[in-house]
């Protein structure tokens, strides 16, 4: 923290010995030592508190990222489900069109065969779509 060498400390000691005197120098040195100890303890506790806050902030950030990822995972699953449903509907439509084309090729221009479901029967109806 401070760049104080041996000769600077020796000079401070000689000045303190001359100013304070040999009788009171040990008591003053103990007091100064206590104050330096208290300052070091205070600095260590402040540093520990800052480290705790930094770790807590990192944990909060990690938890937020995981929460966002889990939401993204749900969106991906929903999109996959919708894509699967759409793919199934396309396949069923292709089968119905193939059957219709085969019937047309054979000369049957009548109603569609009962084996091929009509789109109205196949799709679930919401309460707004149900006929009254």
Tens-of-pLDDT digits for all 132 residues of the chain?
Answer: 567 888 998 898 899 889 988 899 899 989 989 999 999 999 999 999 999 999 999 999 998 888 777 777 777 888 889 999 999 999 999 999 999 888 888 875 555 555 555 555 555 555 555 554
31 phi/psi in degrees, rounded to 5: -60, -45
Q: How much is the pTM? A: 0.42
Where are the domains positioned within the chain? 13-95
Give the Cα separation of 32 and 79 in Å (integer).
Answer: 71
Tell how many helices (H) and how many strands (E) occur in the chain.
3, 0
């Amino acid at each position: 923290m401070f760049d104080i060498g041996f000769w600077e400390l020796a000079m401070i000691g000689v000045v303190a010995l001359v100013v304070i005197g040999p009788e009171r120098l040990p008591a003053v040195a103990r007091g100064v030592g206590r104050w330096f100890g208290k300052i070091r303890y205070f600095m260590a506790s402040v540093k520990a508190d800052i480290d705790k806050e930094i770790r807590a902030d990192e944990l909060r950030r990690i938890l937020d990222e995981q929460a966002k990822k889990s939401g993204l995972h749900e969106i991906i699953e929903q999109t996959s489900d919708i894509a699967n449903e759409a793919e199934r509907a396309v396949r069923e439509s292709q089968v119905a069109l193939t059957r219709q084309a085969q019937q047309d090729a054979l000369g049957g221009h009548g109603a569609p065969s009962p084996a091929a479901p009509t789109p109205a029967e196949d799709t679930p109806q919401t309460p707004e779509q149900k006929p009254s």
